[in-house]
Structure 1
Amino acid sequence: MTKMTVSCPDGAFSAYLALPTKTPAPAILVIQEIFGVNRVMRDICDNLAAQGYIACCPDLFWRIEPEVDITDKTEAEWNKAFELFGKFDPDKGTEDLKATLASLRDHPASTGKVGSVGYCLGGKMAFLMAARSDADCNVSYYGVGLDELLGEAGSISKPLLMHMASEDQFVPKDAQVKIREGLKGHPNVTLHVYEGNDHAFAREGGAHYDAQAAAAANARTAAFFKQQLS
């Protein structure tokens, strides 16, 4: 596995890149949590490459602090993660993701089809990619702040798969209701709620990891990508 450099109007940033053994292949843009491009994100990329996809996770915090790579294991790391999250500009981040998506479409190993999948902060960004980019499909795992973005739902023209945790400590119950009601009947959105699960239920090794819920969500995601990107 390797890194690639993505250029944008503001400069350039790095991205972790995992290639499958057989190319050309469709690509998946993996969107980080608040812990940077860490081992969890790199492992997701590697697993997607093993499934036959080009997988790429760009450094969205590069304007604040390049090459952030922390875990969810200590209070100090959580504090740093929330500090970075507070300084992060979602609009700039969306532009960085769109630049990465364009690079993946043009990659010599790519078929030209590109989807995205994001977790936590990345789940929010995957929603924004569905509304603001030409990605072929998008997947959002327990996205945060989506209740404030429902005004953009009308711009979602490609398939969006969403995974929501019913007990998500970062998405209050009233926000969950707004999200479900705001997206109800949307022809391009499929929303699954995982009852009894908390935020980051699919993060292996995390405090709220639930193997059964993670397996269900990941199976749905795998089938979704196979259908949309083949």
Structure 2
Amino acid sequence: MTSRVDEVGGFELPVWLPAAGRGPGLVLVQEIFGLDAYLRSVASELAAMGYVVGVPDLFWRTDPGWSSGHDEQGVAAAMAVAGRFDHADGVADLTAAVAHLRALPEVTGKVGALGFCLGGSLAFALAAHADPDVVVSCYGSTVPDQVDLLDRVRCPVQFQFGGSDPYIPREAVARVERAVAGREGVEIHVEEQAGHAFLNHGAPQFFQPEPAARAWPRAVDFLARHLG
């Protein structure tokens, strides 16, 4: 497995290549913490599964190359940086990243997206505004208020939420459950005892091993089924 940094429309796109050198493409969309050690570890793990993984630097317009820790000070700094971030610009950057991966000679077949937290919201918006082949959206806080976008989605989508998330009320998650009911190719999973960012094993105050051990394989399986 190797990695490099591509340039896409003014921003950096670190790319992880699988051992075979080729594979389906996957855009990995960051949390508010930026391209930190946790996200890099996820990119490496996905590349080891056979994907060509691109991770856009979403904060490049205001805070290029930025990342923070996961302690109280790091969360406060991340919230401040995220407050300067424009979601429409982020969707445009993800759209450009999908197009870039599709054009790479190393990418064979389809291109999908997987996002956490901020990235979960943006990945869902990407599914509605662009043409990824599959999307996994994990605990995206703006998803419940944008369920009307489902009518514009043409690719398979998986949503994952924590049922005890202090940032996304359970009733908001229920709105998503009602909106996806009966929709072909769309599924939702709620880990009732999990809070926010429960998959983030780099953040002890958020990570919850038991729900993560169920949720992560579901996400990986969904990607494999739809990307090959």
Whether TM-score is above 0.5 comes out as: yes
Of the three residues 2, 5, 15, the one matched with 2:4 is: 2
State the identity as a percent.
33
- For residues 49 and 179 of structure 2, the distance between their equivalents in structure 1, rounded to whole angstroms, comes to 34
Runs of 4+ in structure 1 deviating by more than 4 angstroms, as ranges, are none
Superposed CA RMSD: 1.2
SS in 1 for 2:67: coil
Q: Which amino acid aligns with 2:6?
A: M
With normalisation by structure 2, the TM-score equals 0.95
Gaps of 5+ in 1: none
Alignment correspondent of 2:217: 219
- For residues 84 and 144 of structure 2, the distance between their equivalents in structure 1, rounded to whole angstroms, comes to 20
With normalisation by structure 1, the TM-score equals 0.94
Alignment correspondent of 2:136: 139
Alignment correspondent of 2:87: 90
Of the three residues 190, 193, 197, the one matched with 1:196 is: 193
SS in 2 for 1:126: helix
Alignment correspondent of 2:40: 42
Alignment correspondent of 1:186: 183
Shift in Å, 1:71: 1.6
Alignment correspondent of 1:148: 145
Q: Which amino acid aligns with 1:224?
A: F
Shift in Å, 1:177: 2.1
SS in 2 for 1:45: helix
User: What are the equivalent positions in structure 2 for 1:68-147 lying under 5 Å apart?
Assistant: 68-73=66-71, 75-147=72-144
Give per-residue Cα distances to partners, 1:51-80, cap 9 Å, x unaligned.
11111110001111100121212x322121
Q: Which amino acid aligns with 2:148?
A: G
Shift in Å, 1:173: 2.4
- For residues 110 and 132 of structure 2, the distance between their equivalents in structure 1, rounded to whole angstroms, comes to 8
Give per-residue Cα distances to partners, 1:190-223, cap 9 Å, x unaligned.
0000011100111003213122211211111121
